[in-house]
Amino acid sequence: MISLPWPELDLGGATSYALLIAMFCAFFLTFEAIFLSYARRSAARGDLSRRMSPAARTVEGGRLALIKTRRRRSLSPDGGYTLQMIRLNRLIVQSGVHWGIAALPLSALAIGASVFGLLMLATGNLLLAAVLALAGGTGVPVLALVFLRNRRRRKFEGQLPEAIDVLVRSLRAGHPVSAAIRLVVRELPDPVGSEFAIASDEMTYGLDLERALANVSTRVGQADLALVVVAVGIQSKTGGNLAEILSGIAKVIRERSKMRLKARALSAEGRFSALMLTLLPILVFGLLNLIAPHFYGEVWQVPLVKPILIAALIWMLLGDLLMYRMVRIEV
């Protein structure tokens, strides 16, 4: 019987550190999922209780409820931004989180401290641990907010034509614009329902329809909503049948959405190729280094290896950037 010379498995230090990091990531993600689920349900229950309470039906109670809603969305009482870093504040608002300004520094500090502690245990290199902890503490929360913003925009994009149809049906039935917006709030879930609820409250306490919809567009950042804002602004100045205008805009938005989906389907091959070409070398290197730590043992001592690997990494990132620009189609 022929026996093949398999490399000896070393389940010592590298495996223990990998298991420790995996356990930490699993615990952190589980805790974060539970927290976000609880926060979302609590916010929904709180919003329902606020609207059904007798205090919310009074003028002062409704105004205070609007201010409280704005503050939960990281806005000032008058609807402006509260941070000096406008782009960061806009990202927090458009992500839809209700804990942005309060929890962002704490989450950055917690992630940075966790990364620093794990890297100190794994490598013992103070400079590397400090640099990666700073990058992780600042980058991970921002990337999470970008992910939440993009997901919320996609949901809003899918719900917007239906919301416009509800407005059109209500206006054709003879309801005023404020009643039509309240019908959208009652019929559609978040994010369209919550954003139009804030717009309804703003119209109740002094803003006109154009300004309230412009605020919705600012809080969401969805491109198609700008068509609605422009159409409503023109209609308010020149007159016309608002229901017919909105009906035409709903058709345009649906066609744009179909075009985006078609472009995304046509560019799926390029995106998948970029993902696989990026992850495959890293996964193979990590797997070989884990199951056979001595596989690259002699190669690391060659002086040219590390500069060549760094150059290859930079070249791979440039290729990813080029492929991203090729498959990124704006509609």
Residue 221: left if φ>0, alpha if ψ -120 to 50, beta else—which one? Answer: left
Place of tokens 């006109």: 208
Q: Quick one: average pLDDT of 304-330?
A: 83
Residue that finishes a domain, picked among 237, 257, 277:
257
Task: Tell me, yes or no, whether 319 lies in a domain.
Answer: yes
pLDDT tens digits, one per residue of 126-144: 888 888 888 888 888 888 8
Task: Tell me, yes or no, whether 99 lies in a domain.
Answer: no
Place of tokens 């002699």: 298
Mean pLDDT of the chain: 80
The token duo for 148 is 């939440």
- At residue 148, the pLDDT reads 92
Q: Yes or no: say if 246 and 278 are a contact pair by the CB < 8 Å rule.
A: no
pTM: 0.73
Place of tokens 């290729």: 319
Q: Return the closest-CA partner of residue 155 out of 225, 214, 251, 101.
A: 225
Task: DSSP for 173-228, please give it.
Answer: TT--HHHHHHHHHHHS-TTHHHHHHHHHHHHHTT--HHHHHHHHHHHH--TTHHHH
Q: Are residues 231 and 303 in the same domain?
A: no
Q: Are residues 284 and 317 in the same domain?
A: yes
Query: Domain range spanning residue 174?
Result: 155-257
- At residue 5, the pLDDT reads 46
Q: Quick one: average pLDDT of 29-58?
A: 58
Reported confidence tier of residue 168, pLDDT bands at 50, 70, 90: very high
Q: Quick one: average pLDDT of 217-228?
A: 88
Task: Tell me, yes or no, whether 149 lies in a domain.
Answer: no
Task: Tell me, yes or no, whether 143 lies in a domain.
Answer: no
Residue that finishes a domain, picked among 197, 227, 257:
257
Q: Are residues 176 and 220 in the same domain?
A: yes
- What is the number of domains present in the chain? 2
Reported confidence tier of residue 320, pLDDT bands at 50, 70, 90: confident
Q: Yes or no: say if 77 and 67 are a contact pair by the CB < 8 Å rule.
A: yes
Task: Tell me, yes or no, whether 50 lies in a domain.
Answer: no
Task: Tell me, yes or no, whether 65 lies in a domain.
Answer: no
Q: What is the DSSP code (8-state) at residue 79?
A: S
Q: Are residues 168 and 243 in the same domain?
A: yes
Q: Are residues 159 and 253 in the same domain?
A: yes
**What whole-number distance in Å separates Cα of residue 307 and Cα of residue 236?**
64
Reported confidence tier of residue 7, pLDDT bands at 50, 70, 90: very low
**What whole-number distance in Å separates Cα of residue 245 and Cα of residue 278?**
47
Residue that finishes a domain, picked among 201, 236, 257:
257
Reported confidence tier of residue 151, pLDDT bands at 50, 70, 90: very high
pLDDT tens digits, one per residue of 275-300: 888 888 888 888 887 887 777 777 77
The token duo for 173 is 């039935």
If one compares 43 and 208, the residue with the highest pLDDT of the two is: 208
Is 70 exceeded by the pLDDT of residue 221?
yes
- At residue 152, the pLDDT reads 93
Task: Tell me, yes or no, whether 298 lies in a domain.
Answer: yes
pLDDT tens digits, one per residue of 24-35: 666 666 766 676
Q: Yes or no: say if 197 and 185 are a contact pair by the CB < 8 Å rule.
A: yes
Q: Are residues 247 and 272 in the same domain?
A: no
Task: Tell me, yes or no, whether 14 lies in a domain.
Answer: no
Domain of 218, CATH number, reads: 1.20.81
CA angle 49, 52, 54 (to 5 degrees): 110
**What whole-number distance in Å separates Cα of residue 112 and Cα of residue 136?**
6
Q: Yes or no: say if 102 and 83 are a contact pair by the CB < 8 Å rule.
A: no
Q: Tell me which of 17-31, 51-65, 174-188 is least confident.
A: 51-65
